[in-house]
Structure 1
Amino acid sequence: MAAQVETDVAIIGAGPVGLFAVFECGMLRMKCVVIDALEAVGGQCSALYPEKPIYDIPAHPSIAGGELVAALEKQAEPFGATYLLGRRVEGLAKDGEAILLTTSAGDTVRCKAVIIAAGAGAFGPNRPPLEGLPGYEASGAVRYMVTRREEFRGKRVVIAGGGDSAVDWALSLKDIAAKVTVVHRRPKFRAAPESAAQLDAAAQRGEIELAIPYQLHGLKGDGSTLESVVLATLKGEEMAVPADHLLAFFGLSMDLGPIAEWGLGLERSHIAVEPSTCATNIDGVHAIGDIATYPGKLKLILQGFSEAAMAAHAIHPRVFPGEALHFEYSTSKGVPAA
């Protein structure tokens, strides 16, 4: 059923940065509505790597993506945000001083400010051009993400790709899978140097097999159950690797969707913002996290968290015009009542 909502701030994107924006707005007594195309909060952390460890969250030497999202949900919970999930924002229009958002589910959200925390927009995996791929995707034999490591216990797993996801999951699954084979077209990986070094060490110990320089060439099986993955070199040399699963990590294809039609200042599919306020070229609209760009921008979750705080403070005068905002540390002010 379509919702008609009036609120202070509409947050587009329910990933980690969007969830933290709920907290930051709540600390300034601003009510929020959060809209996301996915059916659950967490963005890429939940959809792509809920069990994958993240190492650059302050005070957490290591925390799984799903655990981080759960903690951010709990942190935002006291502020009673409304979540409109499983729909995407289609339209943005000004209504006097207010902003009107419309969604694919027919919702209308009237707010005083908007925070776009949409990551890099809608995303989907880059699929390898292999014959019969849809049937193996449907059965789960070919996947582009790992949600539960236990599903691969005792299985033969082929991992294709040369970035962080491929290397990290190879290292993570080697202890539970019957066999892990990593396919890459060249010896040098694009992963973090320490992770690449661990992969080399695991290969030398026989814990992981490296198929280099090979690329994916075909799938063998009955169209649903996978028997082997066919690899080939650029010279046409082929070999078949017995496998129960193929994990293909070739990155994500990004699509800003309707956001690209709103008249925002775009730079290479990112939204240009003013660094100190994260304000866009549309009055009352701010962008934070991976979708925002400015000189010196770092694509780190912790930078997105900082941007959430800056945007919330910049928005406060729109929600409470004429009211002075006296900054206080959370240790002294506590969490305001919802």
Structure 2
Amino acid sequence: MPQTPLETDVAIIGAGPTALFAAFECSMLHLKTLLIDTLDEVGGQCAALYPEKPIYDIPAHPAITGGALVEALEAQIAPFNVPRLLGHQVTTLSGYRGAFRLGTDKGAQIHAKAIIIAAGAGAFGPNRPPLDALGDFEKSGAVRYYVRRKSDFTDKDIVIAGGGDSALDWVVELSDICRKIHLVHRRDRFRGAPETLARVESCIASGKVEKIVPYQLHALHGEDGTLAEVEVIDLEGKTRRLAATHLLPFYGLSTDLGPILGWNLAVTRNTLPVMPVTMETSQPGIFAIGDVASYPGKLKLILQGFSEGAMAAHAIYPIIYPETALHFEYSTSKGVPQPG
């Protein structure tokens, strides 16, 4: 039997930080909201990829981990009891502004008057290095693409491969607990914030980190999924073997908008172009915020995604209440509902 459709004012596709704050902004405007996400928990990439990694550009927080940020956002929307449909991927979308119909891969049906797509960069997965027997070492946990618990690497010899922000950030974060870190990159130039680069150089100077450049990953050595050495090779074919129990390759994420590509929305470079004043996509009533949204001057920062969520909520209000003027009030004046 078909499931009874879930009725809501706003369906938010995604449940990462930007989506959670958009749910708060919608709820403050008395818009009934539903969160939908393919993951089994809220938090998006923050929860799935780097729950213990500090984020430094959240206003009023000199540093906050991804996990702590998600917990704070959950506490912020707790008074509204926002329902969520987790472990569901939205596969079908039809209808029009004020009357959309969504279907998920688990058979759920949702009726919504407006939609906010806050799906980050879409479905994401790591770019894997082309190494023999890689799968065996992935299964054992010797090769990892995300750090969920820093304590797993206490007193370990590890190799971190990559030259971008993720590789450099984790060099800094793990340098105090690892016995030795080898930082492998194909050239002696890294892409990171000046402060992070300075901290990495400090770690190298202290002897906690050894920079292996210009080298690339070449082979993994060990038995039954237990890693013993990571072999690297330079441009002239010279190889080195680095003792290591873990390899952390940070070569970025491969992303895919998936079913979104079939929803007749304008797409540019795997993003959804929007009107920057309203965050509305090429289809009326469908809005996009966060990394998936693009417009001139866009910055891919969580704090900008928060602002976009507020703008989308205010643009949606007249769709839900077409005959009611929105008299904006500051939260210091109106407050929020209290639990219970």
Q: Give the TM interval when normalised to the shorter protein.
A: over 0.9
State the SS of the aligned residue for 1:235. Answer: coil
Matches within 5 A, 1:153-164: 153-164=154-165
On the 8 A contact 2:183/2:209 being kept in 1, the answer is yes
Matches within 5 A, 1:215-226: 215-226=216-227
On the 8 A contact 2:18/2:118 being kept in 1, the answer is yes
| 1:19-62 CA-partner distances (Å, limit 9, x unpaired) | 00110000001111111111111111111111110000000000
Q: What's 1:260 paired with?
A: 261
State the SS of the aligned residue for 2:59. Answer: coil
2:37 aligned with 1:36, yes or no? yes
| 1:136-178 CA-partner distances (Å, limit 9, x unpaired) | 0001000000000001101111100001111111111111111
Q: What's 2:14 paired with?
A: 13
Q: What's 2:235 paired with?
A: 234
Q: What's 2:73 paired with?
A: 72
Residue 157 of structure 2 aligns with an amino acid whose one-letter code is: R
- Counterparts in 2 of 1:213 and 1:334: CA distance versus 1, 3 Å: same
Matches within 5 A, 1:78-97: 78-94=79-95, 97=98
Gaps of at least 5 residues in structure 1 are none
On the 8 A contact 1:271/1:280 being kept in 2, the answer is yes
On the 8 A contact 1:2/1:105 being kept in 2, the answer is no
Matches within 5 A, 1:187-198: 187-198=188-199
Deviation at 1:63, TM superposition (A): 0.3
Structure 1 length normalisation: TM-score?
A: 0.98
State the SS of the aligned residue for 1:143. Answer: coil
Q: What's 1:313 paired with?
A: 314
Gaps of at least 5 residues in structure 2 are none
Deviation at 1:318, TM superposition (A): 1.0
Deviation at 1:3, TM superposition (A): 6.3
Residue 263 of structure 1 aligns with an amino acid whose one-letter code is: N
> How far apart, CA to CA, are the structure 2 residues paired with 1:331 and 1:76?
16
On the 8 A contact 1:31/1:79 being kept in 2, the answer is no
Matches within 5 A, 1:135-154: 135-154=136-155
Percentage of pairs with the same residue: 57
Matches within 5 A, 1:92-111: 92-94=93-95, 97-111=98-112
On the 8 A contact 2:157/2:179 being kept in 1, the answer is yes
| 1:161-218 CA-partner distances (Å, limit 9, x unpaired) | 0011111111111111111111011111011121112111211121111111110000
Structure 2 length normalisation: TM-score?
A: 0.97
Query: How many residue pairs get matched?
Result: 338
> How far apart, CA to CA, are the structure 1 residues paired with 2:145 and 2:9?
37
Runs of 4+ in 1 over 4 A off after TM superposition: none
Residue 94 of structure 2 aligns with an amino acid whose one-letter code is: A
State the SS of the aligned residue for 1:35. Answer: strand
On the 8 A contact 1:29/1:336 being kept in 2, the answer is no
The worse-fitting range, judged by mean Cα deviation, of 70-79 and 120-129 is: 70-79
On the 8 A contact 1:174/1:180 being kept in 2, the answer is yes
Matches within 5 A, 1:242-321: 242-321=243-322
Deviation at 1:304, TM superposition (A): 0.5
> How far apart, CA to CA, are the structure 2 residues paired with 1:21 and 1:96?
19
